[in-house]
Amino acid sequence: MTKLAKIVDMGRAWWFRVGEEVSQEIIDHTKNKQLDVNDRKFKPLTPEYAARKKSGDIDRVGGGNSDANLYATSDMLSNLKPRRTTSKSTVIGWDLIQSQKVVGNANNGRVITTRKRPLAKMVEKFLQKMIDKQTKRNIKKNDTITVHKLGK
Amino acid sequence: MPTIERTAIEFAKRTEAIKAKTVDYVYNLGQGLSRQELAVLVGQIDFTALVNELGYESSVNTLTANYINILKGVAPIAPLSEEVLAALVNTDKAWYLTKGSDLANTMKQELSRAALTGSTRATMKEAIKDVSGFRPDQVEAIVDTAQRTFSRSVTAAMTDEMPPDTTYIYLGPQDDKTRDICVEMGAAGALTRAEIESQFPGTMATGGGIRCRHEWRLETSKSDKLSGEAKAQEMLDDGDAKKGAGTPLQNQVDDKAS
């Protein structure tokens, strides 16, 4: 018999890994797939800004890329990471400065996360897979066979 | 909640005000004295103590108190104790006080010369105008770096709990603004914590230095798409970046502020 508490006991290190995996999944979803939290393409950049971004005319921006992927200096996207991890959960997010940019982008119609939908469906599926995998692993690890001896 | 920008501007302003007050102090001291007498007197004054008395030390205390609030905003409940937080802040505080002492000694030198030439208050102020104080952008860079260092330290503390064979990648952009040391770390690929400490000591917390956009992060299933390892390797192969060109963080701080 497996104790339910042990099945859901994932441990702090596992939650930290989940936080990192999900953070990097969101960065990939935003930067490489160029999708918002609703799995829709981001609103295109204005032609002027796209040209400036491509030319590298913006302070600290490397240049050569005019995609609408919320990736200029990488300061904001790379900053998404686990912020608070316990043995029962992990909280991912941005620091004070970068979170202001996330809000600014959302106000501008380019949304990475909302209270109603914190994760894009694709990312949600990824997280669910991780949880299922670890749950199965925990069941296997904690499963014990009880032998009832009948008779002599 | 204080912002980095506001904190930086306030500190830079206060430093400039202290420079002006120092001139007033020396000028007023010279009333009724000959040039030589004033020059001798200036030579006897402990300028470090003077600038601290005129508010430099309390200004550093205000700045670092704001630091703590800014840093707490980074990770309200981080696996770092208040003691560790205080230690991180104290390291920077000591640096500001040393810079204050440098500032005081340069002012002493300039004002001593000015005293000998019988300068007016305006010429004295002119003499120390270019003595390096802190520009808001310099302070902002230092506070911003402290915040990033703190954030990396939080992650580093968390990695203590991970198995020793856990690997990390150096996440961040590889472009024409990237430092050589960051290109080198980016090209290094996935490393264990022990490998990072032996090949790139201290970088778990400091990254590549001032305002570094990179961080050692847990290697995940998406890391190969995000690390820029291939691009970094290409930059090394093409000679766009040199191996072994890393600069210690403190030197970069000194370069930036000088």
Q: Does the CB of A32 have a partner CB in chain B at under 8 Å?
A: yes
Per-residue pLDDT at B212 exceeds 80? yes
pLDDT in tens, B4-23: 667 778 888 888 899 999 99
pLDDT of residue B71: 66
The residue written with tokens 């992927």 in the block is A69
pLDDT of residue B257: 36
Contact between chains at B1 and A56 (C-beta distance less than 8 A) = no
pLDDT in tens, B52-108: 999 999 999 988 887 777 666 555 444 556 676 777 778 778 888 998 898 899 899
Instruction: Name every chain B residue with its beta carbon within 8 A of the beta carbon of A75.
Output: 213
How is residue B43 written in tokens?
Answer: 């030579």
Give the chain B residue whose CA is nearest to the CA of A32: B225
Instruction: Name every chain A residue with its beta carbon within 8 A of the beta carbon of B179.
Output: none
pLDDT in tens, A38-90: 999 998 888 888 888 777 777 666 666 777 888 877 778 888 998 888 888 89
| A147: in domain | no
- Number of folded domains that form chain A: 1
Q: Does the CB of A124 have a partner CB in chain B at under 8 Å?
A: no
Q: What is the pTM (predicted TM-score) of this model?
A: 0.72
| Band of residue A23 on the pLDDT scale cut at 50, 70, 90 | very high
| A148: in domain | no
> SS3 for chain A, per residue?
CCCHHHHCCCCHHHHHHHHHHHHHHHHHHHHCCCECCCCCECCCCCHHHHHHHHHCCCCCCCCCCCCCCCCCCCHHHHCCEEEEECCCCEEEECCHHHHHHHHHHHHCCCCCCCCCCCCCHHHHHHHHHHHHHHHHHHHHHHCCCCCCCCCC
Per-residue pLDDT at B155 exceeds 90? no
Torsion of CA A43, A49, A55, A58, to 10 degrees: -110
**CA of A123 vs chain B CAs: smallest distance (Å):** 12
Give the chain B residue whose CA is nearest to the CA of A65: B175
| A20: in domain | yes
Whole domain around residue A49: which residue ranges? 4-142
Q: Which of A91-95, A119-123, B77-81 is the most confident on average?
A: A119-123
Instruction: Name every chain A residue with its beta carbon within 8 A of the beta carbon of B215.
Output: 78, 81
| A53: in domain | yes
What percent of chain B is modeled with pLDDT above 70? 85
| A118: in domain | yes
| A49: in domain | yes
Q: Does the CB of A74 have a partner CB in chain B at under 8 Å?
A: yes
